Amino acid sequence: MDIRVERTSLPKAKPDWDNLSFGRYYTDHMFVADYTEGSGWHDLRVVPYAPISLDPAAMVLHYAMEVFEGLKAYAAKDGRVLLFRPMENARRLNSSATRICMPDFPENDFLEALKVFVRTEQDWIPRQADTSLYLRPVMIANEPHIGVRVSRQFQMFIIASPVGAYYPEGLNPVRIYLEDEYIRAVRGGTGFTKCGGNYASSLIAQKKAEKLGFTQVLWLDGVEKKYIEEVGTMNVMFMIGDEVITPELGGSILPGVTRSSVMELLRSWNVKVSERRISIDELYSAARSGDLRESFGTGTAAVISPIGAFSINGELLCVGDGGIGPLSRKLYDTLTGIQWGSLPDPFGWTCEVPL
Ligand code: COI
């Protein structure tokens, strides 16, 4: 499909590249496409960044019919601009959309849209260490209709934000609070999707954790409240003895692109990786006995986020010596090295944007 590009006549001032933090600045343009039942996706365009117009009866505003993605564009030292496994995002967007009864966005058009959009915004890709251009594709149901049914009209847009570290801690270990009151997801629900509703319902626990001095929450399964699922906005991994354990996907956990990349990297280094259920009791015992050597969250926004301590039932349990573990450091360096094009990419994960 053709993508029309309309450039802004009023480019914004660029931010202070050394103080980006996460999600504070937005670029000059956005990608937009519309969907109408019967005609499919049409009018693919890159246009000046501007508020979108929505009828107050638009279904997304009433019934949260929204799904999104997150990925990054990286500026390599040799001048190339790279995306990381964008087809994984294309596939996951469609898997989320199917669950919320929204249409597929063709995967090849998704990739083409990213390339055209990122090429238009190339001056917004930060060059500083550990910075990137975060891309946020979003699909919404914008048909004006307040009866509860599947929408017949949708909009897809992609915005971009130059970002630094997601957490103010950067690579320094975060402290995590075990949430035992609220739950994030149950099997059969929407936990495996990136739909806005998952994040809205998680905020109350995040607020509680922050008030108690923690960065994020550790979510338990919604049935027995016994097995570990995720950490806040990330998947989670534990190194117990010589084994790295991550909760198995089962419908309630987000299938993270960073999660699967980390597992592939670990296996290529002959580290034993298990996707299996891990109970809070197992974590507690491992932390008490000193077998819990490392733990970290994985996510596009946060990359690898070492966890220094867990608060479990009022007890603060340290992970290893509370610092950045050697495996977390190696994973961060390798993954970011591949993403920024400074290390070889034996897995073929990076995808160059033609400039
Ligand atoms: C990501 O890691 O890209 C996310 O989507 C997490 C969060 C910023 C919502």
pTM for the complete prediction?
Answer: 0.97
Question: In this structure, are 107 and 202 located in the same domain?
Answer: no
Question: In this structure, are 181 and 221 located in the same domain?
Answer: yes
Question: What is the extent of the structural domain holding 69?
Answer: 4-163
pLDDT value of residue 189: 97
**Is residue 352 in a domain?**
no
Buried-exposed string 294-304: b where 16+ CB fall within 10 A, e elsewhere: bbbbbbbbbbb
* CA dist., res. 83 & res. 74, Å (int): 6
Where do we find the tokens 């919320």? 100
**Is residue 354 in a domain?**
no
CATH of residue 181's domain is: 3.20.10.10
Question: In this structure, are 178 and 159 located in the same domain?
Answer: no
pLDDT value of residue 350: 98
Question: In this structure, are 200 and 233 located in the same domain?
Answer: yes
CATH of residue 132's domain is: 3.30.470.10
Q: Cβ-count burial of 162 within 10 angstroms (0-12 exposed, 13-18 middle, 19+ buried)?
A: buried
**Which residue's CA is minimally distant from atom 5 of ligand 1?**
70
Bridge partners of 42, per DSSP, are 34
**Which residue's CA is minimally distant from atom 7 of ligand 1?**
233
**What does the pLDDT look like over 327-346, one tens digit per residue?**
999 999 999 999 999 999 99
| Chain Cα centroid distance, residue 175 | 19
In angstroms, what CA-CA distances link 242 with 38, 168, 200, 238, 271? 55, 30, 37, 10, 7
Question: In this structure, are 84 and 221 located in the same domain?
Answer: no
**Which residue's CA is minimally distant from atom 9 of ligand 1?**
233
Question: In this structure, are 153 and 35 located in the same domain?
Answer: yes
Tell which atom from ligand 1 comes closest to the C-alpha of 69.
5
- 258 and 335 Cβ atoms separated by less than 8 Å: yes
The residues of the chain scoring below 70 in pLDDT are none
**Is residue 350 in a domain?**
no
Tell which atom from ligand 1 comes closest to the C-alpha of 194.
5
Question: In this structure, are 227 and 294 located in the same domain?
Answer: yes
* CA dist., res. 215 & res. 170, Å (int): 12
Question: In this structure, are 271 and 331 located in the same domain?
Answer: yes
Question: In this structure, are 193 and 104 located in the same domain?
Answer: no
The residue among 114, 137, 163 that closes a domain is 163
**Is residue 348 in a domain?**
no
